[in-house]
Amino acid sequence: MKNPECVTIKKYNKLVRDRIPEVIEKAGEKPYVKTLSKKEFLEALKKKILEEAKELVAARSEEDTINEIVDLLELLDALIAEKGISKFDICTLRRKKNEKKGAFEKRLFLIKTETKPRV
């Protein structure tokens, strides 16, 4: 017989979407959360972006790929908002970078470079 005093604890220590605590409660678990400072939030956003990027790389189905792209876009939008950057500024910088370095339309993959010795 199980001891009712035994509690299973799962540690996450990561940024979650706003309604995740509700989802956890509906599943019969008790979430413990804290509100992050601006500095903590920015660091957590960057870590979460990396986590979601890794999940995008690992995605095997079209549905999983799309879901990871959605998560990344949501996180990037949150980072942009938190940093107080306007979408106009983002689009302007993107256009300038594309003019200077190009986009990714040609699907180029750099294998190596070679430098000839100067005479």
Q: Is the pLDDT of residue 56 over 60?
A: yes
- Determine the structural domain holding residue 65 and report its residue range: 20-101
Please give the tally of structural domains in the chain.
1
Q: What is the CATH number of the domain that holds 37?
A: 1.10.287
- For the chain, the distance separating the N- and C-terminal CA atoms, rounded to the nearest angstrom, is 84
Output the pTM of the full model.
0.83
27/10 Cα distance (integer angstroms): 14
Residue 82 belongs to a domain: yes
Residue 3 belongs to a domain: no
Residue 46 belongs to a domain: yes
30/118 Cα distance (integer angstroms): 68
| Cβ–Cβ under 8 Å, residues 28 and 61 | no
Residue 26 belongs to a domain: yes
Confidence at residue 74, expressed as pLDDT on a 0 to 100 scale: 97
Rg of the chain, C-alpha, whole Å? 21
Residue 1 belongs to a domain: no
